[in-house]
């Protein structure tokens, strides 16, 4: 009976451990080390300057990248859902196949960024600069929202955000 109880407790705790952030990986990234495939859940990367960093396939769900500069960074296939990208600079960064669903990208700069296949469902692009971003489609943008200050490639548009 004791073994069954312990097995149930361990099984219940495993999902929590699997979703927890990895402090060592976060510290490594904060010092500018690339970390593809890392668990950076809720990482505080605000105000950082990390040019060319490779975070492809990493879990950055609910991470704070606000006012950071990550030019030429790689976020291919990364999970940036519900992340705070407020005012961040991503010049020539790659977001190929990345999940940015529910992210706050208000005032973010995506000049020459590759957005091919990125999931923008529920992403707030108000005031975002995406005029020279590559790989953007109307389908992607139709599931996001923005405002009159959002800059997009010619012939693309984004619906307004709910003012609530």
For the stretch 69-118, pLDDT in tens is 999 999 999 999 999 999 999 999 999 999 999 999 999 999 999 999 99
Give the separation between CA 26 and CA 28, rounded to whole angstroms.
5
Nearest alpha carbon to residue 39 among 53, 58, 52: 58
Q: Is residue 1 part of a domain?
A: no
Q: Is residue 161 part of a domain?
A: no
The answer to whether the beta carbons of residues 40 and 21 sit under 8 Å apart is yes
Sign of CA dihedral 114, 156, 62, 77: negative
Q: What is the pTM of this model?
A: 0.87
Question: Tell me: the pLDDT tens digits for 57-71?
Answer: 999 999 999 999 999
Q: Is residue 135 part of a domain?
A: yes
Q: Is residue 116 part of a domain?
A: yes
| CATH value at residue 70 | 2.160.20.80
Q: Is residue 23 part of a domain?
A: no
How many CB atoms sit inside 10 A of residue 162's CB? 7
Q: Is residue 28 part of a domain?
A: no
Both structure tokens of 41: 């859940």
Q: Is residue 163 part of a domain?
A: no
Phi, psi of 158 (to 5 degrees): -130, 140
Domain carrying residue 75: 34-154
Q: Is residue 125 part of a domain?
A: yes
Count of domains forming the chain: 1
The answer to whether the beta carbons of residues 158 and 145 sit under 8 Å apart is yes
């Amino acid at each position: 009976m004791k073994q069954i109880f312990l097995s149930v407790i361990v099984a219940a705790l495993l999902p929590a451990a699997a979703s927890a952030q990895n402090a060592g990986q976060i510290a490594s990234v904060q010092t500018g080390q690339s970390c593809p495939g890392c668990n950076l859940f809720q990482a505080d990367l605000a105000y950082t300057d990390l040019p060319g960093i490779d975070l492809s396939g990493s879990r950055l769900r609910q991470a704070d990248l606000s006012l950071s500069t990550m030019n030429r960074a790689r976020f291919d296939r990364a999970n940036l859902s519900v992340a705070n990208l407020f005012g961040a600079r991503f010049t020539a960064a790659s977001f190929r196949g990345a999940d940015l669903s529910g992210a706050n990208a208000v005032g973010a700069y995506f000049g020459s960024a590759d957005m091919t296949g990125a999931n923008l469902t529920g992403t707030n692009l108000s005031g975002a600069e995406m005029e020279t971003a590559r790989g953007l489609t109307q389908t992607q943008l139709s599931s996001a929202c923005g405002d009159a200050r959002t800059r997009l490639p010619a012939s693309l548009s984004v619906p307004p955000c709910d003012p609530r």
